Structure 1
């Protein structure tokens, strides 16, 4: 009897520990996906330390360090990050996931999209490349993962979903960045420049900003869409800056109230305020304003052409026309329909130039 009790006790203990181990091994499919992606991709996410020179209260020059994140995008050592992570840096140091540190070389930067590329000279077998996906067909509710170095704490993973798409964010350069991704995955200072990854393990965005009254994450983070990065990254590597198309004209939205007050033949479009002499618009024969007119509290430059269509599609305002032109490349031809101030219409072809003053580091 005593022997049987011992055997029963032993079986119960074995059953308990087997059940405990089964419970410990019970990982959901979603958790397995998170674990696998982190283990595979986190070595491709780096910590970036930037040293900026500043003046203290007594005007002494002192160094100040900041941290951010970046994604290895090539086995040649190219790293994609945010412009604001490396802006004005006099020294850049990259720490890989294995702890190895390298001095980084600045390659190119674009304040308008808040993107930059730096480079390290590291052995290829130490470089894990983060593959780029696509951001044009993202859906609200998709799972996303953010890997980065918040507050300098390396190799941190947070998860969440896409909260919204098509947001507009103003970059440090002052330009509006279109199609920005909003997510509730925790993004904090130090995450900037790190990748936002989908469940298949592809980068769909570059974490760049948070909305927070406290400075810490409150569930509203933003990422530059990877399609924007794919558009500019080659120029950053080859030229050091992104070559934006340039029409060589200052534009202003024509509102129906203005059109009625000025007795214009069209109600909407983009008014040409000024053309740069010798610029693309000037060479195409587009005319700028010649006089001033006051409508209510508004002072308008009038007398110039009004752009009413681009490639046959109606132009409703100056902003939409500028956004469409920004998606083109220098040297590309665009067909515009313009209405002259006297009411005549004309179709003109503009060969876009390259915007002067491309951003160059230092």
Structure 2
């Protein structure tokens, strides 16, 4: 009897405790639900499955948007375009190409992009955009179409400057940034006129840095920026822009078998543009030191000198070319007597592009030390560079 009474008392106490716990839980849930009515977020329990997508007509949490309904990422995109699109111009060209078979000239048209640099009307673009142009026209953001003239060009770096005379208040220069501290993964924007669609913008990231790009035979541009932003024919010469709305490069080429975007594009860094453009505006060309070597051939040991400029800096300094002998009207060149270049300023060279690249930043009067292999011995020859004689352009075409 006593055991039965104890069991009965335990059952009653257990029921009371259970009722008290359930009441407490309901009270807590009610408090959470009451607090939740003042929050823009909903926190479904884990047992309810994944968080559902907002129903039609519903909105995401307002904290993710600004007053215009834009996310932070969209705000950056819009700000970049609004601040930079008026700095982009559409370039159209007309010229002629020679048809050797028909012995006649055929009219041809081209198009590209450019970026306004200053209020004087200087516009940055690629040399290949205006290379064969007899007439250049520029269309501004307000649809004004203006004739342009060539101010200067650096073909080996594929950079050109053209100029327009525009009404006051219609030119919006693009801010120049820096390409010295770029990193793979940084977000970038490409502005231009792909397929003639004016002032289009695409976005992507920097895919790689310090690529090399051969834009002219035997001449390689270093420190090229590789991007995955979509660029197509017509984008050439347009600006590559960072998230601060600054030009960090100029879109130049794409890697594609069908001449359309394949997610691999290349841009000339603004560091090179900053160095070249002032000379193009001032002199119309880049003044470089002339070494007086116009032809070399590649050998297993280095670059054999194939032709020297008579009386040029290299010949005066003692660099030896092929030994030429005459037999009647014939000239016979013995190339085995020519020096083989192995280094310049202690920097090894194995190709004509590397040789020319060393002279990229050299000026007339600079002294370079050319190491040559002569009769199986390395001889160091100091050469004082001469004045500009067409610079690496002529050398790149010949070497």
Which interval holds the TM-score relative to the shorter structure? 0.7 to 0.9
The answer to whether structure 1 residue 146 and structure 2 residue 190 are counterparts is yes
- Give the match's secondary structure for 1:109: strand
Distance 1:31 1:54, change over 3 A: same
- Give the match's secondary structure for 2:157: coil
In structure 1, distance between residues paired with 2:250 and 2:264: 15
Deviates more, 1:302-311 or 1:133-142: 302-311
| TM-score normalised to structure 1 length | 0.79
**Conservation of the 8 A alpha-carbon contact between 1:80 and 1:115:** yes
Q: Structure 1, unaligned stretches of length 5 or more?
A: 1-15, 256-267, 293-298
The corresponding residue for 2:89 is 46
In structure 2, distance between residues paired with 1:310 and 1:331: 16
The CA RMSD measured in Å over matched residues stands at: 3.2
Query: What is the CA distance between 1:220 and its match in structure 2?
Result: 1.2
**Conservation of the 8 A alpha-carbon contact between 2:313 and 2:383:** no
Aligned pair partner of 1:31 in 74, 87, 110: 74
- Give the match's secondary structure for 2:205: strand
The corresponding residue for 1:8 is none
Distance 1:314 1:98, change over 3 A: closer
Question: Which structure 2 residues correspond to residues 5-20 of structure 1 after superposition, within 5 A?
Answer: none
**Conservation of the 8 A alpha-carbon contact between 1:241 and 1:358:** no
The answer to whether structure 1 residue 204 and structure 2 residue 237 are counterparts is no
**Conservation of the 8 A alpha-carbon contact between 1:136 and 1:227:** yes
The corresponding residue for 2:348 is 315
The corresponding residue for 1:273 is 306
| TM-score normalised to structure 2 length | 0.72
Distance 1:109 1:148, change over 3 A: same
Distance 1:73 1:252, change over 3 A: same
**Conservation of the 8 A alpha-carbon contact between 1:273 and 1:302:** no
In structure 2, distance between residues paired with 1:98 and 1:300: 64
In structure 2, distance between residues paired with 1:234 and 1:183: 26
Q: Which has the higher Rg, Structure 1 or Structure 2?
A: 2
The answer to whether structure 1 residue 213 and structure 2 residue 267 are counterparts is no
- Give the match's secondary structure for 1:112: helix
In structure 1, distance between residues paired with 2:373 and 2:392: 32
Distance 1:342 1:184, change over 3 A: closer
**Conservation of the 8 A alpha-carbon contact between 2:113 and 2:192:** yes
Show CA shifts across 1:166-185 (max 9, x none).
22222156632222221110
The answer to whether structure 1 residue 81 and structure 2 residue 115 are counterparts is no
In structure 2, distance between residues paired with 1:85 and 1:165: 24
Aligned pair partner of 1:194 in 238, 252, 265: 238
- Give the match's secondary structure for 1:273: strand
Query: What is the CA distance between 1:19 and its match in structure 2?
Result: 5.0
Query: What is the CA distance between 1:35 and its match in structure 2?
Result: 1.1
In structure 2, distance between residues paired with 1:124 and 1:96: 13
How many residue pairs match? The answer is 326
Query: What is the CA distance between 1:97 and its match in structure 2?
Result: 0.9
Q: Structure 2, unaligned stretches of length 5 or more?
A: 1-55, 326-332, 395-399
Distance 1:36 1:287, change over 3 A: same
**Conservation of the 8 A alpha-carbon contact between 1:80 and 1:116:** yes
In structure 1, distance between residues paired with 2:142 and 2:323: 64
In structure 2, distance between residues paired with 1:65 and 1:185: 26
Question: Which structure 2 residues correspond to residues 126-205 of structure 1 after superposition, within 5 A?
Answer: 126-171=170-215, 175-205=219-249
- Give the match's secondary structure for 1:335: strand
Distance 1:54 1:285, change over 3 A: closer
The answer to whether structure 1 residue 240 and structure 2 residue 274 are counterparts is no
Distance 1:329 1:132, change over 3 A: farther
Show CA shifts across 1:89-129 (max 9, x none).
22211111122221111212222222211100013422111
